[in-house]
Amino acid sequence: MLAVGTYRGAYVLLRLSKESYLENLLEIRDVRKTFESTIAVNGISLDIPKKSIFGLLGPNGAGKTTLIRMITNIVAADSGTILMDGVDDPKGRMLLIGYMPEERGLYKKMKVGEQLLYLAQLKNLSKSKAKEKIEYWMEHFDIADWYGKRVEELSKGMQQKIQFISTIIHEPSLIILDEPFSGLDPVNSNLIRDEIYRLRELGSTVIFSTHRMEQVEQICDQIALIHKGNKILEGDVGSIKQKFKENKFSLEFGEGISDLSVSPYREIKRSERGVTVQLEDGQDSNELLRFFVDKGLHVTAFNELLPSINEIFIQQVGGQTDE
């Protein structure tokens, strides 16, 4: 890209790399999709940064899958634009995306190696390059012995690994994972999660679609909450938790709590050696700590309690879905 600048009063041309002027890999602007009388996606706009793990959250029926299908050009948007690296090219971006849908799409009767080879070549890999990458990933996941087995002979966890390999084998710029941990045991969940981190470090951007909130806090840098086709909130996980905090603090003590009946703080919970309080407007956390220290108590832990993403999710959507 060429940009115009000045140096000592003279105009000069500056050559900028894509990385220097495009912070977002994906930009979604006012995208809409309606099926008959149902509004599936209602004017959603999102910015998904490069080399990030972006959580697309919402209850079943919220519109997440429809939005993903428009990103991947499986269905066309009724209106709005989707830019990848600043370019609006629905067909072109398909080769730059790896998509693992919630409804797994492996051919049960095909052998594992044949299937991976076929899917890799669909992504424009040569036969020799595809075989090289298949060999690497099967060794990496310690499943090389399953190369000649039919998919139907594999456990659900094994099939998930094969599906994951088929998604990322062409080293896509954008990886979209719809409920990637569904049906996986803890060991395989950790394996896939570690690969997600590693792929981000290698330069990929990941969209992680789920309704399981506990996974979001572990994995995602930024999130967007979708409900009934609308974007309810968007931002980085830490900032969103700060936005919805309720001024709750927990304290633990090295000894039992004496009589605190005259405490000026609203007590939410008490244990033998701890208390949780909620500050009112005008009350200060430093004064809270000082109050208990002045009471002669040995404070061993003092923490602000931020709401979980699950609590924020329930607060915003009320536990309702479109189903």
Residue-wise pLDDT tens digits, 137-159 = 999 988 899 999 999 998 888 88
Kindly state whether residue 51 falls inside one of the protein's structural domains. Answer: yes
- CATH number of the domain encompassing residue 285: 3.30.70.1560
Residue-range definition of the domain harbouring residue 260: 246-305
Residue 215 has pLDDT above 50, yes or no: yes
Number of DSSP helices (H) and strands (E) in the chain, helices first: 11, 15
Q: How many CA atoms lie within 13 A of 114 on its CB side?
A: 9
Residues 113 and 180 in one domain: yes
**Left (φ > 0), alpha (ψ -120 to 50) or beta: where does 266 sit?**
beta
Q: What is the CATH number of the domain that holds 221?
A: 3.40.50.300
Closest CA to 253 of 279, 228, 289: 289
Closest by CA position to 197, among listed 225, 168, 170, 160: 168
Instruction: Say if residue 216 is in the same domain as residue 79.
Output: yes
Which residue did the predictor score with more confidence, 249 or 15?
Answer: 249
User: What is the per-residue DSSP string for 234-262?
Assistant: EEEHHHHHHHT---EEEEEESS-----TT
Q: What pLDDT score does 107 carry?
A: 87
Q: Is the pLDDT of residue 260 over 70?
A: no
Domains in the chain, number: 2
pLDDT band at 22 (very low <50, low <70, confident <90, very high): low
- Predicted confidence (pLDDT) per residue in 70-108, tens digit: 999 999 999 999 999 999 988 889 889 999 988 777 888
**Mean pLDDT of all residues in 254-279:** 80
